Amino acid sequence: MNFYRLLSIIGKQRTSPGWQNWSSARSSASAAEAHSTTLPTQAQVVICGGGIMGTSVAYHLSKMGWKDIVLLEQGRLAAGSTRFCAGILSTARHLTIEQKMADYSNKLYQQLEQETGIQTGYIRTGSIFLAQTQDRLISLKRINSRLNVIGIPSEIISPRKVAELHPLLNVHDLVGAMHVPEDAVVSSADVALALASAASQNGVQIYDRTTILHVLVKKGQVAGVETDKGQIECQYFVNCAGQWAYELGLSNEEPVSIPLHACEHFYLLTRPLETPLQSNTPTIVDADGRIYIRNWQGGILSGGFEKNPKPIFTEGKNQLEIQNLQEDWDHFEPLLSSLLRRMPELETLEIMKLVNCPETFTPDMRCIMGESPAVQGYFVLAGMNSAGLSFGGGAGKYLAEWIVHGYPSENVWGLDLKRFGALQSSRTFLRHRVMEVMPLIYDLKVPRWDFQTGRQLRTSPLYDRLDAQGARWMEKHGFERPKYFVPPDKDLLALEQSKTFYKPDWFDIVESEVKCCKEAVCVIDMSSFTKFEITSTGDQALEILQYLFSNDVDVPVGHIVHTGMLNEGGGYENDCSIARLNKRSFFMISPTDQQVHCWAWLKKHMPKDSNLLLEDVTWKYTALNLIGPRAVDVLSELSYAPMTPDHFPSLFCKEMSVGYANGIRVMSMTHTGEPGFMLYIPIEYALHVYNEVMSVGQKYGIRNAGYYALRSLRIEKFFAFWGQDLNTLTTPLECGRESRVKLEKGMDFIGQDALLQQKQNGVYKRFTMFILDDHDTDLDLWPWWGEPIYRNGQYVGKTTSSAYSFSLERHVCLGFVHNFSEDTGEEQVVTADFINRGEYEIDIAGHRFQAKAKLYPVASLFTHKRRKDDVELTDLHGK
Amino acid sequence: MSISALLSMGRCCCRCCCPRGLWMLSAPCCDDRRMCVCPGPRRIGIPVRSSSLPLFSDAMPAPTQLFFPLIRNCELSRIYGTACYCHHKHLCCPSPYIPQSRLRYTPHPAYATFCRPKENWWQYTQGRRYASTPQKFYLTPPQVNSILKANEYSFKVPEFDGKNVSSVLGFDSNQLPANAPIEDRRSAATCLQTRGMLLGVFDGHAGCACSQAVSERLFYYIAVSLLPHETLLEIENAVESGRALLPILQWHKHPNDYFSKEASKLYFNSLRTYWQELIDLNTGESTDIDVKEALINAFKRLDNDISLEAQVGDPNSFLNYLVLRVAFSGATACVAHVDGVDLHVANTGDSRAMLGVQEEDGSWSAVTLSNDHNAQNERELERLKLEHPKNEAKSVVKQDRLLGLLMPFRAFGDVKFKWSIDLQKRVIESGPDQLNDNEYTKFIPPNYHTPPYLTAEPEVTYHRLRPQDKFLVLATDGLWETMHRQDVVRIVGEYLTGMHHQQPIAVGGYKVTLGQMHGLLTERRTKMSSVFEDQNAATHLIRHAVGNNEFGTVDHERLSKMLSLPEELARMYRDDITIIVVQFNSHVVGAYQNQE
């Protein structure tokens, strides 16, 4: 019954479409206010937010058979950003997961009208992405390659073709464009209402004008919600509150950090043209001009993402009513100029309105979904970076799967809430960062760009020392890490401009760092890595770790084990190294961005046992990686202890003194496959140890190196990165890590069954290394990641990472090879034979390069002996 | 840019002296055969008793030859035969052609510039002479900006707990040199032991030594004068027992605003003597200190100390020369003391303090808070006449100048107008050679019968701040002679509030096309850009003062020409400009008002 009231509102709106009629729609809603509503006292799921996200989650949950769902909206359904949305559905995204979400949304919205009987205004217009520069065209070509392999038609077209597709465009300054014919426009408010209607028919109860005050939490678990109209008990809570999601998260007793922030966003509506635009006129995205243009009721709708965004609502909710935001023509002026440059004939077109519609942005321009690490059952779907309509369907589906099955059907790590920590939840940080993110939506995305705002938050104690020596920095999880070190004689200005799809300026610098790692010794500050300590009074620590890890961690004290933390499906939740410090205590090293995710995973699975202690010691240790054949000499000179493999075998850990400092954890591993040591140094000794290492190391040719060198060394040896190559859907068997799994270790571990089954049935994808053959490093586009892999001309997968190997003097790409059936497209078993008997090509922005596939790393890289007659005089020079 | 082009721009600073006295000068800094013919001294002119025209024609140095056509273009050729001008910088400058004089001293910036040789000048003029076709070049807008912004400084009163409880929001200051080196100085400081903020501009003449010294020292004298007896005792005891001193002033300085390190000890001793006397004079009754009286005392005391230090001298020859240069040069001062709603302005000379008042209708009006001490001020003329015997009534002010020489009627330093002839002679004779060689210092003003003719005593104006008083402009006469006070207040007012008052555009129910809107927006942006260019109200004001055309808008071409003047010519077209714009906190001022 509640729903029919809503439908009547929709009916009113439908008869008088258009932006002018909001007020009438609103008054009809207030007329219905008298309608008294009583909330149910309990439900399985409570969804907060009646925008496209909330309704989509409700729709998909109800489709999956969950019926006991309540959706609460503080105002009216589809009244926030969803109402003001420009209504463009675009599948051309940079991330594959985003492309898939948009593609799903497109298909969903298309059939929604048929399913629900509610008109959504869906029209397939197609969209054209213009390129004013060659670099932009490269970027479009990369997207184009990726769209094609997941079955979304698109093509790169000439400016002349652009002019044919759109009558009003000025094309003389274009170098090309990408045409995506199946993109569409749709009324997002109507889509939300249609989804709500379908959900309601499936049993979802929807209440508007109900404000959630806060979420009730008991023992780290969602217990219910407190609204202005009473309490509802529930097991699951879904925060789809859009730009208010941050505030709602903070309102909890135990706050849930949802880092997002709103910016004002403007678009223009005009009266119809003299000859009104066809309703199927394609949507134009002129990213170099920072604008989008779509047809709207015979006229146009045009907005953009300006360089100087206006953040809003920093101080929280309801300073201003969203409906009452001011139009700011002066602010819109650059975009208007850009529009008139692109479509000069519009000069005489009459303005109808400038709409100010705040959009929500996240610190890394990717949306936020998933379960809170702090509160179980607290799910979030928000922060759409102004692509809410495009992602709404797909994101709602994945989140519903997540709630129902415990995990979504696709790898969504890049969108997972747990990629952020509490450090991204400062208002100041968010305000500053979104001012960088919003323009970035239309900026050219080149490999290896780093955010400029919100930096220098977490730093190693050596930061200033390294910075003074020319370090250039990148940021991971708020931690500053050196990329490479600019030698004093290099031109700094030129290096800062290294935004290119081709060979970057730092090539020579990284080459010399890599060379030094191979021939002498380098030191890399790796303090950002996540470090946990697990201790217990008895065997509890060992027991839980044996259950959580696939490898056997019951090793003698002092040994290090590389292992994965797997999920039930056998996929990697984390990839880490564990050192056994003593019988009852373990030291665990994980990738930097695992800090929140790994902690949540451990907490979730650890028994509540006061004798078992898990501690995050990331901040306690500075990590120095001494890489290279002379690392042995440096360390033995500093410790007066023999460090040769006989005395200090590989994958061994020992506390020892280095210089004056005692209690340094020295581990014989380097994360690169090169010889050397990791030093875990209590932070107060960091500067001392670093200085000692550098001064003693001088005669061994020591120098600083950065992550780019590390990356090159790792990738050429076929080492996978968690988060990039490995994810929750890849198993150790799929990436040749059988040796890191002990299926018969005498006790069960998570994912064991899945792995046993996989061992029997074979794997459906295989992690493979590709060495590019006919690729000219100086002249050709460099691979990045996400490039399609072709086997005998058939698409078989995408690359996940790549780097230039200075030893092989070739580019190395890592990626997964699938075996799609030629007839059905179904995935089939991938055997070693299948991999080996294929001719491979990697598609970089539409150009295919031949590649050699390898299942195992190049053996010659692991032999470190230098032949006597190779020694040169130059080897005597200091590095 | 040709010189004639420069002149045709028609703004010549000579105008302040051309119509008045025409002074013939055998420049003391040059020997007889190298006569300098320079554009006019604005403040001090020195008549030359014997001058022979032939000297000009037979041994004319390059600059002279250059300036003859120049003067003709300026339609000053009529004075060619009878008069020429000396750049006043030369007056007390020891001969620039004695290189050893530079070598004997450490190159302190103030000092190095004080006796800076004129190589550049020769290079410039000779280069010009051979340039057959005048080159046209303009500074680009970024170049113009970098010149205008080189000395800009802004200070915002820090907020505590998100609130600014001071009646001052902050200030913007800037200066644009015309002299090389600039003779203007500025100072700003917060009093730490009493409440209130001090801001001042100082316009030097006959060199920058005096204005520099006053800018460093005056605020300490004022702050000390304002201190209660107990605090003075505490400070004195701390000095006596070698304990750490209470800080008195928090300076807000641009990096170019320097302190003289060498004289610091000397200055401190004089200051200490002052507070010791204040302690001794204290009768024990703790009375409220009167700001007006404190300001007057501080001004007079500092001037007295400057004079005394020069008479006593210093065993250190560098310091000895420094104190003499300070005393023989001069400076005017205009100082504001803001404490809550109490605004005191102490003025000595012809700098000016102007209050910007916003009327209820949003328009701006200017309220002058200081009186110029010059010949345009009837009361000053009256005062001078009363202070000297009747028979001097005609000579004490001649051609609108004190004793026919000095434009401001009150100033620091300038002991030539204060000391008796005997004292002057004695000090000069016992002084260092440089002083002795300097014709200017030796020269005794004409009709010098009943010194002192000059005082540093300020005139103090009190104003109680009201919410409509939005800002205060303190500026040297370089600004006021190019711009009307009403324009100054309007430009600053519009600058400070401009953006807030710009009405946002709304389409409303009107028919507007995209093209029309685009035109409108572009126009608005152009208008705004000149405001946006400056982050500093003082810079904005200088941009207008130098670049305004006849329509009252900034003309880039004109601005570029004015700023690209070679430093030796700049002084003919403008004076040093120094501006401080203090912004008041209307909320705090209003709260004060409501309290009472």
- For every residue of B500-546, DSSP letters joined together read HHSPPP--TTS--BHHHHHHHHHHHHHHHHHHHH-SSHHHHHHHHHH
3-class secondary-structure state, position A560: strand
Determine the residue of chain B that is closest to A353 in CA distance: B507
Give the minimum alpha-carbon distance from B509 to chain A in angstroms, rounded to a whole number. 9
Contact A50, A29 (CB under 8 A): no
Chain A partners within 8 Å of B512 (Cβ): 350-351
DSSP output for B244-283: PPPP-EEE---TT----STTHHHHHHHHHHHHHHHHHH--
3-class secondary-structure state, position A808: coil
Helix (H) / strand (E) containing B354: strand B352-358
Chain B partners within 8 Å of A335 (Cβ): none
What distance in Å separates the CA atoms of residue B201 and residue B225, rounded to the nearest whole number? Answer: 20
> pLDDT 10s per residue in chain B (596 long)?
444 444 344 343 433 333 333 333 333 333 333 333 333 344 554 444 433 333 333 333 433 333 333 333 433 333 333 333 333 433 333 333 333 322 222 333 433 333 333 344 444 444 444 444 445 567 888 888 889 999 999 998 876 655 567 899 899 999 999 988 899 999 999 988 888 999 999 999 989 999 999 999 999 999 999 999 888 998 899 888 888 888 888 889 888 888 888 888 899 999 999 999 999 887 666 567 899 999 999 999 999 999 999 999 888 888 999 999 999 999 999 999 999 999 999 999 999 999 999 998 888 999 999 999 999 999 999 999 999 999 998 899 998 999 989 999 999 999 999 999 999 988 888 878 777 777 777 788 888 999 999 999 999 999 999 999 999 999 999 999 999 999 999 889 888 876 444 566 777 667 889 998 898 888 777 766 655 667 889 998 998 899 887 776 778 888 888 888 887 788 888 899 999 999 998 888 888 888 76
Interface test with B, best of A302, A336, A356 (most B CBs within 10 A): A336
Who has greater pLDDT, A879 or A251? A251
What distance in Å separates the CA atoms of residue A805 and residue A807, rounded to the nearest whole number? Answer: 5
Tell me which residue in A328, A330, A351 faces B514 most closely, judged by beta carbons.
A351
Paired tokens of A660: 């004056």
What distance in Å separates the CA atoms of residue A277 and residue A209, rounded to the nearest whole number? Answer: 38
φ, ψ (nearest 5 deg) of residue A520: -130, -110
Domains and CATH numbers, chain B: 141-595 (3.60.40.10)
User: Average pLDDT, stretch A245-264?
Assistant: 92
Give the minimum alpha-carbon distance from B592 to chain A in angstroms, rounded to a whole number. 29
Q: A330 and B513: CB-CB below 8 Å?
A: no
Chain A partners within 8 Å of B522 (Cβ): 333, 337
Domains and CATH numbers, chain A: 462-525 (no CATH), 530-702 (3.30.1360.120)
φ, ψ (nearest 5 deg) of residue B319: -65, -40
Contact A427, A433 (CB under 8 A): no
Nearest alpha carbon to residue A743 among A550, A527, A566 = A550
Cβ under 8 Å to A: B residues 452-511 = 502, 504-507, 511
Tell me which residue in B502, B513, B524 faces A351 most closely, judged by beta carbons.
B513
User: Average pLDDT, stretch A580-593?
Assistant: 94
Is residue A260 very low, low, confident or very high in pLDDT (cuts 50, 70, 90)? very high
Determine the residue of chain A that is closest to B515 in CA distance: A347
Q: A327 and B517: CB-CB below 8 Å?
A: no
φ, ψ (nearest 5 deg) of residue B262: -65, -40
Q: B515 and A340: CB-CB below 8 Å?
A: yes
Chain A partners within 8 Å of B517 (Cβ): 329, 336, 351
Chain B partners within 8 Å of A354 (Cβ): 507
Work out the mean pLDDT of chain A and round it to a whole number: 89
Tell me which residue in B504, B514, B521 faces A347 most closely, judged by beta carbons.
B514
Chain A partners within 8 Å of B506 (Cβ): 327, 329
Tell me which residue in A326, A327, A348 faces B513 most closely, judged by beta carbons.
A348
3-class secondary-structure state, position B360: coil
Q: B507 and A333: CB-CB below 8 Å?
A: no
Q: A351 and B517: CB-CB below 8 Å?
A: yes
φ, ψ (nearest 5 deg) of residue A524: -120, 130
Q: A270 and B514: CB-CB below 8 Å?
A: yes
Helix (H) / strand (E) containing A404: helix A388-405
Give per-residue pLDDT as tens, A59-89.
Answer: 999 999 999 999 999 888 888 888 888 999 9
Rounded to the nearest angstrom, the gap between the alpha carbon of residue A68 and the centroid of all alpha carbons in its chain is: 32
Contact A388, A361 (CB under 8 A): no
Tell me which residue in A326, A330, A349 faces B521 most closely, judged by beta carbons.
A330
Q: What's at B381, amino acid-wise?
A: L
| B261 contact A CB<8A | no
Q: B514 and A353: CB-CB below 8 Å?
A: no
pLDDT for residue B24: 33
Q: B512 and A346: CB-CB below 8 Å?
A: no
Tell me which residue in A330, A339, A350 faces B524 most closely, judged by beta carbons.
A330
Tell me which residue in A326, A328, A336 faces B517 most closely, judged by beta carbons.
A336
Q: B518 and A353: CB-CB below 8 Å?
A: no
Helix (H) / strand (E) containing B408: none
Crossing angle for the helix pair B291-312 and B264-281, to the nearest 10 degrees: 130
What distance in Å separates the CA atoms of residue B286 and residue B383, rounded to the nearest whole number? Answer: 35
Chain A partners within 8 Å of B532 (Cβ): none
pLDDT for residue A646: 87
What percentage of chain A exceeds 70 in pLDDT?
A: 92
pLDDT for residue B510: 77
Who has greater pLDDT, B587 or A297? A297
pLDDT for residue B532: 61
Tell me which residue in A326, A327, A351 faces B512 most closely, judged by beta carbons.
A351
φ, ψ (nearest 5 deg) of residue B124: -65, -50
Q: A330 and B525: CB-CB below 8 Å?
A: yes
Cβ under 8 Å to A: B residues 500-559 = 502, 504-507, 511-515, 517-518, 521-522, 524-525, 528
Is residue A321 very low, low, confident or very high in pLDDT (cuts 50, 70, 90)? low
Q: A333 and B514: CB-CB below 8 Å?
A: no
Give the minimum alpha-carbon distance from A827 to chain B in angstroms, rounded to a whole number. 54
By CB neighbour count within 10 A (0-12 exposed, 13-18 middle, 19+ buried), where does A874 fall? exposed
Chain A partners within 8 Å of B511 (Cβ): 350
Q: A336 and B507: CB-CB below 8 Å?
A: no
Helix (H) / strand (E) containing A217: strand A212-218
pLDDT for residue B38: 37
Chain A residues with at least one Cβ partner in B under 8 Å:
268, 270, 326-330, 332-333, 336-337, 339-340, 346-354
Tell me which residue in B504, B514, B524 faces A346 most closely, judged by beta carbons.
B514
Determine the residue of chain B that is closest to A328 in CA distance: B504
pLDDT for residue A397: 96
Q: A347 and B513: CB-CB below 8 Å?
A: yes
Q: A336 and B514: CB-CB below 8 Å?
A: yes
Give per-residue pLDDT as tens, A372-413.
Answer: 999 999 999 999 999 999 999 999 999 999 999 999 999 999
pLDDT for residue B523: 76
DSSP output for A606-640: S---TTEEEEE-GGGEEEEEEESTTHHHHHHHHHT
Give per-residue pLDDT as tens, A25-53.
Answer: 333 333 334 345 689 999 999 999 999 99
Chain A partners within 8 Å of B513 (Cβ): 347-351
Give per-residue pLDDT as tens, A468-515.
Answer: 999 999 999 999 999 999 988 776 556 555 678 999 888 999 999 999
Give the minimum alpha-carbon distance from A80 to chain B in angstroms, rounded to a whole number. 23
Tell me which residue in B507, B515, B525 faces A333 most closely, judged by beta carbons.
B525
Give the minimum alpha-carbon distance from B119 to chain A in angstroms, rounded to a whole number. 36
Task: Decide if the complex's ipTM is over 0.90.
Answer: no
Chain A partners within 8 Å of B503 (Cβ): none
Chain B partners within 8 Å of A273 (Cβ): none
Who has greater pLDDT, B564 or A12? B564
Paired tokens of B130: 């051979």
pLDDT for residue B519: 87
Tell me which residue in A326, A328, A340 faces B514 most closely, judged by beta carbons.
A340
Chain A and chain B share a number of CB contacts under 8 A equal to: 59
Determine the residue of chain B that is closest to A329 in CA distance: B505
Q: A336 and B515: CB-CB below 8 Å?
A: no
φ, ψ (nearest 5 deg) of residue B54: -50, -35
